[in-house]
A and B are shown apart, each in its own frame.
Chain A
Amino acid sequence: MIRQLVVNNVLHRPIRTVVSILAVGVEVALVILIVGLTSGLLQETAKRIEGIGADIMLQPPSASVFLAFSGAPMPIKIADKLREMKYVQAVAPVLLQFSSSNGVDIVYGIDPKSFRDVSSGFVFLEGHDMQGPDDVLMDDWEAKAKHIAVNDTFRMLDHDFHVAGIVEHGKGARLFVPLATLQDLSGSREKASVFFMKCTNTEYTQAVMDEMRPVFPGYEIRPLKDFLSLMTATNLPGLNAFIKSMIVLAVSVGFLVILLSMYTTVIERTRDIGVLKSLGASKAYIIRGLLGESALICLIGIGVGIAMSYVTRAAFQSSFPTLSILITPEWIVRSALIALAGGLLGASYPAWLASRKDAIEALSYD
């Protein structure tokens, strides 16, 4: 019976109900999308770096796992030292450079031959490998997002590049230029940001790393197979705080809307509350009814929010193909619980007020 009362009450004021549902939906979608966007970008970046196919990555001391945060302080001659080591099959020095000419991009300056040796080469969808100093390779997602075709001119870093080829995504970066060109453009002659290494057999990864440590004391030497697990929000300074802030903001919106909605509901239903009290309804019964309404609104809102998340992700990815939004069941459940808790908390005060209303005053309320 109380279920029927709850459902009918929720349906009684459709606009207020829809607004409340949307507020909860936006709250849920915000949480899912913010977390999905950050973790999606991190995971996608990690997968691309793993996709290079290297076994070991060497970075300068105290370098971040987020490659773009590191400069280029390593002499390129390190590559020669690395090549001399036992079980090392290939070494590819890579220079990383931020480019904000056409959105935010990370450009890899590579030596095509050594990069091919480590990564087994690009899969060309169109065009060919870099041949001249101004050639650029672009991955298919980037080309689609920027509407670029082979032989187009692509300007970045205040330099006009010739798009030599479109390659399949998943090899570290989305843009590749010759190492020497990028060194010139960034004033990092004979420098590299990171060295990717391929062992003669993956089983020798640990042995090679052990051999490297005394030779490069303090340097960051990481096996690539663990890279995905390192690329998390907790390893990026400030990102966790940002995610938490956004969640608190989203929850506050839901909480306040539910609070206001239920508060107006209680005022509007003052007489009904008096009637329930005259029938012998306990305080708990009245609280249960109002929390039930809030829970129903939240549950519908959660469903709407999840749907909104998928629709928004599809819309984003259609407009920005390089954007990766990772929607995980874990965060769907978490956002649902957060929204439900926020909604119930928001309804608690109005419900408590309702339960304490004087029955006679409530019955004479107009």
Chain B
Amino acid sequence: MTITTTIRPPADALLTTRDPIVEPIVVTEDLWKLYHAGKVEVPALRGINFKVMPGEFVSVMGPSGCGKSSLLYVLGGLARASRGRVLVNGNDLTAMGDAERTKLRRDKIGFVFQRFNLLPTLDARGNIAIAQHIHGHGFDAKRFEAITQMLGLTGRLKHRPSEMSGGEQQRVAIARAIINDPKIILADEPTGNLDTQNSEIVLSMLSKLNKDLGQTIVMITHNPEAAAYSSRVVHMRDGVIVDAAPAS
């Protein structure tokens, strides 16, 4: 089943177009993020300049503590930038208050986490539907059915997270992330807790979302094999981007 209402141009088409109106969906300019450990300032991001075009699938790689997750949280509006600018779909997150960033997250961003982060008291259906409820546009049964079918969850909707495998849980998390048709998916080590087989399934799903539906994805990963599913890989070290290259 296709989701006709949400199909966007594939990434390649967008990247090769000569139409000058195509703007990056994510832009960071001299982005800094400082954490405070007592009286000591610890910089997690040190002047990141980064762009993501609509329909791109970008992997961010780097060693632990290099600032990958901090970058993701700032892009997702979960954390406030200490300095610099962050634009998501034209919205300057650094100029936004907490409530505005919450609204932006609700409307434009979908998160996928390493630990799935499903609500344990809800079944798969509830975990997906709650995102629609928070979004405030009510339950869209047609879209719900299309997405759960596409992710192979139709038979597992009445199961709670504790009754599902890691792969199934992550597919529910992906369904939850895309149910409101976000502009961008931010995935933080989505295969970090999965075995090889389930990792491949989840990555294939993300890749399919990107290729078939033009879904923009920024994925944090340690795993080069996972990064290979993306169209571009960005390497980070010590809070800065050291290298950006097309994925092999």
Q: Which residues of A contact B (CB under 8 A)?
A: 1-2, 4-5, 8-9, 11-12, 271-272, 274-283, 285, 359-360, 363
Quick one: CB contact mask for B65-80 with A, threshold 8 Å, 1 for yes?
0000000010010110
Complex Cα distance A49/B209, Å? 84
Residue of B at shortest CB range from A8? Answer: B121
Size class of B's contact patch?
Answer: 20 to 34
Q: Which of B122-153 contact A (CB under 8 A)?
A: 122, 126, 129-135, 139
Q: Tell me the nearest residue of chain B to A9, going by C-beta.
A: B121
Q: State in angstroms the CA–CA spacing of A285 and B136 once bound together.
A: 11
Top 3 nearest A-B pairs (CB, nearest first) are: A280-B106, A1-B133, A8-B121
The residue on B at minimum CB distance from A280 is B106
Q: Are B105 and A360 in contact (CB under 8 A)?
A: no
B117 at the interface (CB under 8 A from A): yes
Return the chain B residue nearest A11 by Cβ: B121
Task: Check B122–A4 contact: CB distance below 8 A.
Answer: yes
- The answer to whether A280 and B79 touch across the interface, beta carbons within 8 angstroms, is no
Inter-chain pairs besides A278-B105, A360-B79, A363-B113, 6 sampled, C-beta below 8 Å: A4-B126, A8-B121, A9-B121, A275-B117, A275-B119, A280-B102
Closest partner residue, chain A, to B105 (CB atom): A280
* Residue from the list A274, A280, A359 in contact with B103, Cβ < 8 A: A280
Residues of A within 8 A of B102 (CB): 277, 280-283
Closest to B106 in A: A280
- Contact A359 B78, beta carbon cutoff 8 Å: yes
Chain A contact residues: over half helix, strand or loop, or mixed?
helix
Within 8 A of A (CB), among B47-102: 73, 76, 78-79, 99, 102
Cβ–Cβ < 8 Å partners of A4 in chain B: 122, 126
Say if the beta carbon of B111 comes within 8 Å of chain A: yes
| Chain A residues near B135 (CB-CB < 8 A) | 280
B103 touches A1 (CB 8 A): no
B107 adjacent to chain A (CB < 8 Å)? yes
Q: Quick check: B131 and A279 within 8 Å, CB to CB?
A: yes
Contact status B117-A278, CB under 8 Å: yes
A283 to B134 alpha-carbon distance, docked (Å): 11
CB neighbours (8 Å) of A272 from chain B are 119-120
Of all chain B residues, the one with the shortest Cβ separation from A272 is: B119
Closest-CB distance, B70 to chain A (whole angstroms)? 9
- Quote the shortest CB–CB distance from B134 to chain A (angstroms): 5
The CA-CA distance from A5 to B117 in the complex, in Å, is 15
Chain A hits for B106, CB < 8 A: 279-281
26 chain-A/chain-B pairs, Cβ below 8 angstroms: A1-B129, A1-B130, A1-B133, A2-B133, A4-B126, A5-B121, A5-B122, A8-B121, A8-B122, A8-B126, A11-B121, A271-B117, A275-B118, A276-B119, A277-B78, A278-B76, A278-B117, A279-B130, A279-B134, A279-B176, A280-B104, A280-B106, A281-B134, A282-B99, A285-B134, A363-B113
